[in-house]
């Protein structure tokens, strides 16, 4: 069976209403994406822990899947009426052929070599180097497969800088890949936190698959303590908002490493953290940067 995919852009005020109305009109699935993702206009839905209440971005791409035999104009017209719109939205349609979605998804993730001793190996692959350290990973529904430059740079930083017996916090853990890497590389104690329940579940499952001890909790349940290393691979806006909270989690003399930052945004992040921790660019890759710094001792 083949399906048809419909895409259109709407504002935040209409995103939820039109999505619910589309499902009532017969859509098989509806998802909402940031229409400005990957650009300087990207707007992460993130605030201080426990305060992420927005449900949509300023500009949203609504992705709708319907049966091939359904009338797309009829579905959109009915959905528009149900959402209180005067007219159906302008849209782009494309065919989605029948495929083995599991195999297709898995084919997108091959083993990734991070360093001479560290690999990321999806659970459905055999480790290419049996003698290396392998992170067995099922990304699930959470971000973090190791294929993105920001994740790779954080993994490389850990491989180069993590010391035996360090304690580490992975803030915004996604799939748990950084926390698991830290445990495999010899960290004494590893904690991981995220605002997304799917990320927490993926991290828990992936840590178990790698036989790693990782303490996983939601950000609003994170214990008050300080770590030798805090790593956060998220996005520029939340990193700015979280500057006091992240710096507070680093012990004096400890290190903070941040990524998810475009090169053009590095100076802004460095300035934001300057009163707390002096950050420097540790590595650049494909237009992204990884920043790192040591928290000064006050005594």
- In the predicted structure, residue 96 carries a pLDDT above the cut 60: yes
Strand duo 227-233 + 250-262: pairing: parallel
Confidence of residue 180 (pLDDT cuts 50, 70, 90): very high
pLDDT for res 58: 83
Q: Which domain holds residue 174?
A: 142-294
Give 209: exposed, middle or buried? Use CB within 10 Å, 0-12, 13-18, 19+. Answer: middle
* H helix or E strand, kind and range, residue 181: helix 177-184
pTM comes to 0.66
CATH number of the domain residue 197 falls in:
3.40.50.150
- Both 205 and 91 in one domain: the answer is no
**Secondary structure (3-state) at 80:** helix
Mean pLDDT of the chain: 86
- In the predicted structure, residue 143 carries a pLDDT above the cut 80: no
> Which residues, in sequence order, are bridge partners of residue 216?
192
User: Is 105 inside a domain boundary?
Assistant: no
Mean pLDDT of the 235-263 span: 94
- In the predicted structure, residue 183 carries a pLDDT above the cut 70: yes
User: Is 222 inside a domain boundary?
Assistant: yes
Share of the chain above pLDDT 70, in %: 88
User: Is 132 inside a domain boundary?
Assistant: no
- Both 284 and 157 in one domain: the answer is yes
Total domains, the chain: 2
């Amino acid at each position: 069976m083949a399906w048809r995919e419909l895409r259109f852009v709407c504002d935040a005020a209409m995103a939820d209403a039109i999505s619910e109305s589309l499902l009532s009109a017969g859509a098989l699935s509806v998802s909402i994406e940031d229409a400005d993702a990957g650009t300087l206009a990207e707007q992460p839905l993130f605030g201080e822990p426990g305060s992420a209440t927005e449900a949509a971005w300023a500009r949203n791409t609504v992705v709708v899947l319907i049966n091939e035999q359904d009338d797309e104009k009829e579905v959109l017209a009915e959905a528009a009426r149900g959402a209180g719109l005067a007219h159906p939205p302008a849209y782009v349609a494309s065919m989605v052929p029948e495929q083995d979605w599991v195999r297709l998804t898995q084919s997108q993730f091959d083993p990734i070599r991070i360093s001479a001793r560290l690999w990321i190996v999806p659970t459905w692959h055999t480790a290419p180097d049996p003698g290396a350290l392998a992170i067995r990973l099922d990304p699930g529904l959470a971000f973090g497969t190791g294929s993105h430059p920001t994740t790779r740079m954080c993994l490389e930083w850990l491989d180069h800088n993590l010391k035996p017996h360090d304690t580490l916090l992975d803030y915004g853990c996604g799939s748990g890949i950084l926390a698991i890497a830290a445990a495999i590389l010899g960290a004494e104690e590893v904690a991981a936190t995220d605002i997304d329940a799917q990320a927490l579940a993926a991290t828990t499952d992936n840590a178990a698959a790698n036989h790693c001890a990782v303490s996983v909790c939601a950000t609003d349940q994170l214990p008050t303590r300080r770590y030798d290393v805090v790593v956060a691979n998220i996005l520029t806006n939340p990193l700015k908002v979280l500057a006091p909270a992240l710096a507070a989690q680093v012990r004096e003399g400890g290190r903070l490493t941040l990524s998810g930052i475009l090169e053009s945004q590095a100076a802004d992040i460095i300035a934001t953290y300057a009163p707390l921790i002096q950050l420097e660019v540790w590595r650049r890759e494909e237009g992204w940067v990884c920043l790192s710094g040591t928290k000064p001792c006050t005594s």
